[in-house]
Structure 1
Amino acid sequence: MSQRGLEALLRPKSIAVIGASEKPERAGFLMMRNLLDGGFNGPILPVTPIHKAVSGVLAYANIASLPITPDLAILCTHDRRNLTLLEDLGTRGCKAVIILSAATEQFPELKACAQRHHMRLLGPNSLGLLAPWQGLNASFSPVPIKKGRLAFISQSAAVANTILDWAQQREVGFSYFIALGDSLDIDVDDLLDFLARDGKTSAIMLYIEHISDARRFLSASRSASRNKPILVVKSGRSQRAQQLLNGQQGLDAAYDAAIQRAGLLRVQDTHELFSAVETLSHMHPLRGERLLIVSNGAAPAAMALDELISRNGKLATLSDSTQSALSAALPPFVSLRNPIDLRDDASAERYLAALKPLLDSTDYDALLLIHSPSAAAPGSKTAELLISAIRQHPRGKRITLLTNWCGEYSSQDARRLFTEAGIPTYRTPEGAITAFMHMVEYRRNQKQLKETPALPVGLTANTAHVHQLIRQALAEGTTQLDTHEVQPILEAYGLSMLPTWIASDSVEAVHIAEQLGYPVAIKLRSPDIAHKSEVQGVMLYLRTAMEVQRAADDILDRVKRTYPQARIDGLLVQSMANRAGAQELRIAVEQDAIFGPLIMLGEGGIEWHHETQAAVALPPLNMALARYLIIQAVKGGKIRNRGSLQALDIPGLSRLLVLVSNLILDCPEISRLDIHPVLASGSEFTLLDVSMQLAPVTGDPQARLAIRPYPHELEQTVVLKDGSACLFRPILPEDEPLLKLFIDQVTKEDLYYRYFSEINEFSHDDLANMTQIDYDREMAFVLCAKLRQGRKSLVLHALSPILTI
């Protein structure tokens, strides 16, 4: 994404305050005061025709009279002057502007002016920004903030002010604190790209209300989250809340899917937001998921354990050597099982005796210390002893430590000591576990995204035939296809459908049933009735000619009485599928206003609400991503094993989902697809009823997708000097094993000249970063040839340099 002008905004060398004032109630006064108090080490240039000096700084009558061209300008005047001032700043060569307020009707002209002069805009209606490492407080906030490693980006001024106030009391520091306002130009994705490369930022927190460009957001988020944890608070879960925020309405489950796909972690509420800020500010990165709990009471330890189990956390198991060391240090009545209960009479010295052998242990990945108010172990004294021991121990800086000093009055000083020592501290056991699980879930998300997908078997499709069928349907004015019409399209993608025949009346239905063999099913065929259940338009298990004739006549009669204006295109006749022991599923594709096509998976046999009864994923899917969608549906209760005699074949269903994903990618005219039900019986998946909606495509067909798919158009067959044909193509995630094989054959000298350092071995993460690329912002090519021994390809050519666009 474009980084033009962001250096001038976030690391300015000079700042002009347009509309600086000596009147305390004016924005220009507040901005000058905050810039001067913040300690900005560069020229601050107040511009005002009224005063000769503002806050003791020489003022200038207009922009033209400035002695230097400022990197950053802040508009603090009445919004009616915005356009004129912006034009003057552009003419002068200013690179970035913060607009504190502007009317909505000004937005198009402001944006056009900024683009014409190659300026970047923050806002309008932005609170401003703070960059403590630069001594920069270009905001309305009078609250000074400490230097830290956490960057915070907010689309809400109210939330930003709340976090600032809370952070001051908790002494939480920030690298950047940015309030976006209306994001006329600079948006979240621009800032994520900048912060991903910023050496002062180690973690990022986002508060978002809407996403204006899904593809840019996902691209920037995925790139940044590979190196730095990013937590997201997204408000507006309900449609009414979205209306209140004046945001474009999108499915909340789609936001969940997008956030997870990008490798971010979503927190649910303000309480979790504060815990997350504490965690990101102080906690060391996790190397695993095993948690060890030490407490001076069974009850708080039990509360922590309950929360850990409810969130699918993992409890550490202590080795014999660690238990022996603890046994020698602690009284015999202290249980050495995790959680370790030091008892309510535990002194500060007993805490210290337990901590010392644990600092030498590698049996856990994170340690939670819980302390309940106790006369035997005053909170502050215990905290001081533990902090001192941690600082003096060689592994103290590498231990992932969390603390929960319960209570309020007697624990305030202890929590302050932990905060000053850079150790995360929480008020409740559940809050500490929630914070720990945030980092665990983030780690799991990253691990899942980097898993090497399996090569799917037999994913062939006759796309030319499908495109012809779709073009023909649209040319005839047909936009709604039923099971019979969809059948050749799906079969061209290798999807197994139950044969379907069309009958014009009951007589023909009987004739078809006789040919198919009983039992059969009969279904209404009408483009005007979306839900056949409204007219009892589906009749199953018809075993005789008389039953077929009666059922067909009854369906047609009910439609004529209930919907006399509805068009009837006959009846669909199918052999009755064997449902005994089979599981009914539903797969659908819907269009989201923000993220484009969504693939949904849920349980069949019910009229579902996809907002709550379906697991959601963004295309494109590979086998690994399809598998995660299935696991998410099962764990979330969207698919229940009701009456099924065989376990769900996850690889088989994954393959089916990948085929659906490929169909949607190849055919942008498909705006909606509903496969219901899908009968899953062991490794067999039969599609019984399908509807498809078509719409002509205008513009770039790829623009509708939130994630750019594999660019097939870049593939090219090349002939080598020996006459052998090879495929030159972009790299795929599935190429990781072949890439490793290729690198293993390269000499160390070649690797050194390729990467300018000595590399003994490439880890899975290294290879995943090379193969799982974002085709929107980088590209790597491989040259592949078939081996004589089999069909597998061998990577023959080194990766091209990855280019950031």
Structure 2
Amino acid sequence: MSIRNLQKMFSPSSICIFGANNEEKNSGQIVIQNLISSGFKGPIMPISDKDRAIAGILSYKTFDDLPLLPDLVIFCGPSNPSEETLNQLGDKGLKALILMGHCGENLCAQTIKKLSQTHGMRILGPNSMGAMIPGKNFNASTMHLPVKAGKIAYISQSSSMSSTVLDWANAHGVGFSHFISLGNCSDVDYGDIIDYLGSDPFTRAILIYMESINERRNFMSAARASARNKPILVMKTGKHEAVSVMTQSHTGAMAGSDLVYDAAFKRAGMLRVNSIAELFAGANTLSSIRPFNGKRLAIVSNGGGLNIIASDHLLDQGGQLAELSDDTIATLQKAFSNNQITNPVDLGLNCTGEDYAKAYEILKSSKEVDCILFQHSPNTYSDTTQCAQKLAAAHKSLKGQILTCWMGEKTIEQARRCFEENAIPTYSSPRMAITAFMHIVHYKENQVTLMETPERVPAEIKPARKTVRSIIDAALKRGESWLKESDAKQILSAYGIETVETHIVHCADEAERTAEEIGFPVVVKVMSADIIHKSDVQGVMLNLTSPQAVSSAIEDITQRTHTFKPDAVIDGFIVQKMVHLPHAHELIAGMTNDPVFGPVILFGEGGTATEVIADHAIALPPLNMGLAKDLISRTKISKLLDGFRDHPEINKNALCQLLIELSEICIDFPEIQELDINPIFSSKEGALAVDTRMRIQKCTESHPNRRLAIRSYPAYLEEEFILRNGRKTIIRPIRPEDEPAHNEFMSKVSAQDIRFRFFGSVRELPHSEMARLTQIDYDREMAFIAQAPNEEDGQMETLGVVRTGTDPNNEEAEYAILVRSDLKGQKLGWKLLNKMIEYTRTRGTTYFAGQILRENRTMIDMVKAMGFETHTIMDEDIVEVKLKL
């Protein structure tokens, strides 16, 4: 939904509690006691018709008896209220509600959602354990322990996992900014909470324990936005859910639900962990250390064995041992009178705390180390606790990026306590320490990926969408669920995907004539809606070199088909020219519909054994060149595609283009439920779709593109506009690929116009900022650019841009506009602003607002003429403008 009224839920000034009594272990009484213990400052108002006071607090008989309308109402006890009760509370103006009990028969998830939308009342639960925000003295939960204040937020659907994490955190001194139990997510869902926490200045990182999600688009938009600013670690259970029996394609069989979650987390920039131990390690790391650049790790310990174990784990997980410079090595050797020291650093069994501190000082000052892992194994010759204390003391002044791993149990208890008291991350094993280190590495890599400017697509394809629409509509009218191969290939061709020419025949004589016309050798395939995989009946005969061979193939295929499935109807046969591409790889690409995330794209090694080989990766559409290359790189066969021995590298651009166009087909035509292109012959010459299957189904959704987890480029918003001087421009939504042209555009704007736009002197924006301006989430923000061919080489150049960012409640869109300084008076600014106003109005946004420097009279006069209200902020020399939509 949004973050509307979540402030009342997580920072209320008054609370009412239903279901509390004075019986031992009553959940309502536990909530009241937790609120009192946390130091909650506002009124706590229990409702009870039996007890005059609960936990020493005066109770009220009914909600109408309350002296004021509370910000938050909590329902405790074994069952939740009725729909009628919640409607009455909504009518009275209640805006936040926590349901801790089970859903009644008349209070299903759809009813709760409807109640929330009707009254603007946010509902957490049912089956929630509540929430704790220690920084606000707020513990409205049934948790068995309090939490200390920290900088990590924890979100979970599971009550048992919440209790477990809380117990661990309490024992290890880990604090939280928020600790939230979602329960069934009937209204408030992961996306809402991530949005709320994404802008919270007191939350540095977010930990999630997930069982399932309901709102895919909201989740992906929130996660992609927040992951740009802070790490998000997620543990998702249910990895081995059964594949739906509805899937009949190779892609459908291989694209299991958990793989799709993996793809979604990666696309959003989140880090996935696979165990409770990893989740705890992530909490330990993120609460104590800030993300750092690089992955060069120095390892220091008092034993070579520990160093070898940690190094193995590091290299297994893709980390990098820091290569120490000659100067650093010389300094270490001199400090420890040891000519054999390098990275990993072995301080010896009898090392002291001073040795650890000295090694820390030397490695911290080196330029080749990003982080240091200090390890220790207890023994007779070294004081384990003293080593920890000296290292902690050194950390107070050096303030480097360090992790610690003091091995053992009994002897190292005080050492671990010392690290926890000094907010130094510490782990029980080298593996967990290395895993924690790699969490930070992967987070920074995700940041780079999220901000990466994709290459332009090699060829701008103008798809023949009308052709595809007519093919699909005609097939649906005929009652077909699987398209004929000839129709499927025609759809691929309409999107510029190269295919093998396909000829349909119905008898052996016709097949012989066709083969002679196209030239031998040829391929013959069975065509039957009753045969899903042709290989099941050996329904493909290759390299046929004569008319007799073709005739025999038809006869053999027919016999095998009827033996395999006697009632199968053979609709005909396909005859194709036998394609021989030297050094070509057989690949597969396809699409299937995931029940949670909608359409997903699969790529991997193809052929009839593709499911057995199981070398594939999954991505969410839409794709661009960067995402297509990443999809390819996540398969084992990608190493072969890069070339080896006498096999040249394939034409990677052609393969990426095929994947991008496949993604566009899935986006444009929601009727396509499953799609296989198998095999694709990929070589240095290009990418050729040899065989394809498509399953279709009539689309009944009123907004079919809501099925996409990520909103695709809205091409329908493109339009032409002619400037006053006659120059033709195209106005369209901005794309990530526009960054280079946007940099050039900025260089052609005068210093005064830059100051009017940014309220200061800015000549050049860094890549990170420019990426934020060009890589937008079309579901939450919009930017329209005006482009036209330049006079020198005909390349498209940017002439102006208008953008809006809309708050998560969709109440106000704040705009900013900039037009090239040499194009004043061409009505381009007026056109861009009008287009954005109309677009924002179609989204149902309430207000369109902006800020203008008071001296920018031209812009102020223009918006006044368009009906904006203006308000001057005298102290800041700014005019606020607002238009009610």
Q: TM-score, normalised by structure 2?
A: 0.87
Give the match for residue 289 of structure 1: 295
* Residues 220-231 of structure 1: pairs in structure 2 closer than 5 A: 220-231=222-233
Identity of aligned residues (%): 39
Change (3 A) 1:612 1:518: closer
**Comparing 224-233 with 636-645, which one deviates more in the overlay?**
636-645
- Displacement after TM superposition at 1:104 (Å): 4.8
Give the match for residue 67 of structure 1: 67
Give the match for residue 444 of structure 1: 445
Q: Give CA deviations for 1:615-636 in whole Å, capped at 9, x if unaligned.
A: 1111100000000000012378
- Displacement after TM superposition at 1:512 (Å): 1.3
- 3-state secondary structure, aligned to 2:805: coil
1:719 aligns with 2:722: yes
Q: Give CA deviations for 1:720-745 in whole Å, capped at 9, x if unaligned.
A: 11110111111100001111111233
1:181 aligns with 2:192: no
- Structure 2 portions without partners, runs of 5+: 246-254, 811-885
Q: Distance in 2 between matches of 1:70 and 1:251?
A: 42
Give the match for residue 267 of structure 1: 273
- Displacement after TM superposition at 1:766 (Å): 0.9
* Residues 8-19 of structure 1: pairs in structure 2 closer than 5 A: 8-19=8-19
Instruction: Check conservation: 1:64, 1:88, Cα contact below 8 A.
Output: no
Q: Distance in 1 between matches of 2:545 and 2:154?
A: 66
Change (3 A) 1:596 1:134: same
Q: Distance in 2 between matches of 1:654 and 1:490?
A: 14
Q: Distance in 1 between matches of 2:68 and 2:737?
A: 54
- Which of 347, 350, 355 lines up with 1:345 in the alignment? 350
Instruction: Check conservation: 1:595, 1:706, Cα contact below 8 A.
Output: yes
- Displacement after TM superposition at 1:611 (Å): 11
Give the match for residue 649 of structure 1: 651
Give the match for residue 20 of structure 1: 20
Change (3 A) 1:11 1:637: farther
* Residues 486-505 of structure 1: pairs in structure 2 closer than 5 A: 486-505=488-507
Q: State how many pairs are aligned.
A: 795
1:755 aligns with 2:758: yes
- 3-state secondary structure, aligned to 1:175: strand
Give the match for residue 585 of structure 1: 587
- Displacement after TM superposition at 1:367 (Å): 1.1
Q: Give CA deviations for 1:693-717 in whole Å, capped at 9, x if unaligned.
A: 2222222121221111001111111
Give the match for residue 329 of structure 1: 335
- 3-state secondary structure, aligned to 2:635: helix
- 3-state secondary structure, aligned to 1:609: helix
- 3-state secondary structure, aligned to 2:368: coil
Q: Distance in 1 between matches of 2:372 and 2:396?
A: 15
Change (3 A) 1:638 1:254: farther
- Which of 773, 782, 793 lines up with 2:785 in the alignment? 782
**Comparing 642-651 with 358-367, which one deviates more in the overlay?**
642-651
Q: Give CA deviations for 1:409-462 in whole Å, capped at 9, x if unaligned.
A: 111111111111111111111110011111211222221222111111223122
Q: Distance in 2 between matches of 1:644 and 1:238?
A: 40
1:456 aligns with 2:462: no
Give the match for residue 429 of structure 1: 430
Q: Distance in 1 between matches of 2:78 and 2:207?
A: 32
- Displacement after TM superposition at 1:93 (Å): 2.1
Change (3 A) 1:76 1:85: farther
Instruction: Check conservation: 2:75, 2:81, Cα contact below 8 A.
Output: no
1:303 aligns with 2:304: no
- 3-state secondary structure, aligned to 1:79: coil
Q: Distance in 2 between matches of 1:590 and 1:334?
A: 57
Instruction: Check conservation: 1:75, 1:82, Cα contact below 8 A.
Output: no
Give the match for residue 792 of structure 1: 795
Q: TM-score, normalised by structure 1?
A: 0.95
**Comparing 357-366 with 747-756, which one deviates more in the overlay?**
747-756
Instruction: Check conservation: 1:369, 1:402, Cα contact below 8 A.
Output: yes
Change (3 A) 1:611 1:523: closer
**Comparing 557-566 with 734-743, which one deviates more in the overlay?**
557-566
Q: Give CA deviations for 1:620-673 in whole Å, capped at 9, x if unaligned.
A: 000000000000123789989899822233222111111111122222222221
* Residues 16-415 of structure 1: pairs in structure 2 closer than 5 A: 16-77=16-77, 79=79, 81-105=81-105, 106-107=107-108, 108-239=110-241, 251-335=257-341, 337-393=342-398, 396=399, 399-415=400-416
- Displacement after TM superposition at 1:579 (Å): 4.6
Q: Distance in 1 between matches of 2:394 and 2:49?
A: 61
- 3-state secondary structure, aligned to 2:424: coil
Change (3 A) 1:762 1:80: closer
Change (3 A) 1:63 1:688: same
Q: Distance in 2 between matches of 1:678 and 1:417?
A: 59
Q: Distance in 2 between matches of 1:466 and 1:642?
A: 39
* Residues 538-557 of structure 1: pairs in structure 2 closer than 5 A: 538-557=540-559
- Structure 1 portions without partners, runs of 5+: 244-248
- 3-state secondary structure, aligned to 1:481: coil
Q: Give CA deviations for 1:115-137 in whole Å, capped at 9, x if unaligned.
A: 33321111011111111111111
Instruction: Check conservation: 2:641, 2:649, Cα contact below 8 A.
Output: no
Give the match for residue 574 of structure 1: 576
Change (3 A) 1:113 1:680: closer
**Comparing 84-93 with 349-358, which one deviates more in the overlay?**
84-93
- 3-state secondary structure, aligned to 1:780: strand
Instruction: Check conservation: 1:603, 1:640, Cα contact below 8 A.
Output: no
Instruction: Check conservation: 1:348, 1:376, Cα contact below 8 A.
Output: no
Change (3 A) 1:389 1:241: farther
Q: Distance in 2 between matches of 1:242 and 1:762?
A: 48
- Which of 593, 599, 602 lines up with 2:604 in the alignment? 602
1:741 aligns with 2:744: yes
1:766 aligns with 2:772: no
Q: Distance in 1 between matches of 2:503 and 2:421?
A: 75
Instruction: Check conservation: 1:581, 1:643, Cα contact below 8 A.
Output: no
Give the match for residue 246 of structure 1: none
- Displacement after TM superposition at 1:103 (Å): 2.7
Change (3 A) 1:180 1:690: same
Give the match for residue 562 of structure 1: 564
Q: Distance in 1 between matches of 2:767 and 2:215?
A: 31
1:526 aligns with 2:521: no
- Displacement after TM superposition at 1:797 (Å): 0.9
- Which of 511, 514, 535 lines up with 1:512 in the alignment? 514
- Displacement after TM superposition at 1:52 (Å): 2.0
Q: Distance in 1 between matches of 2:238 and 2:483?
A: 35
Change (3 A) 1:636 1:306: farther
Change (3 A) 1:401 1:80: closer
Q: Distance in 1 between matches of 2:549 and 2:70?
A: 85
Q: Distance in 2 between matches of 1:768 and 1:634?
A: 30
Give the match for residue 704 of structure 1: 707
Q: Distance in 2 between matches of 1:389 and 1:78?
A: 53
Q: Distance in 2 between matches of 1:92 and 1:611?
A: 61
Q: Give CA deviations for 1:3-55 in whole Å, capped at 9, x if unaligned.
A: 11100001111111123222223112111111111111211112212222222
Q: Give CA deviations for 1:124-155 in whole Å, capped at 9, x if unaligned.
A: 11111111111111111120110000000001
Change (3 A) 1:794 1:111: closer
Q: What is the aligned-residue RMSD (CA, Å)?
A: 2.2
Instruction: Check conservation: 1:63, 1:88, Cα contact below 8 A.
Output: no
Letter in 1 for 2:171: Q
- Displacement after TM superposition at 1:760 (Å): 5.4
- Displacement after TM superposition at 1:227 (Å): 0.6
Change (3 A) 1:759 1:21: farther
- 3-state secondary structure, aligned to 2:359: helix
Q: Distance in 2 between matches of 1:533 and 1:375?
A: 68
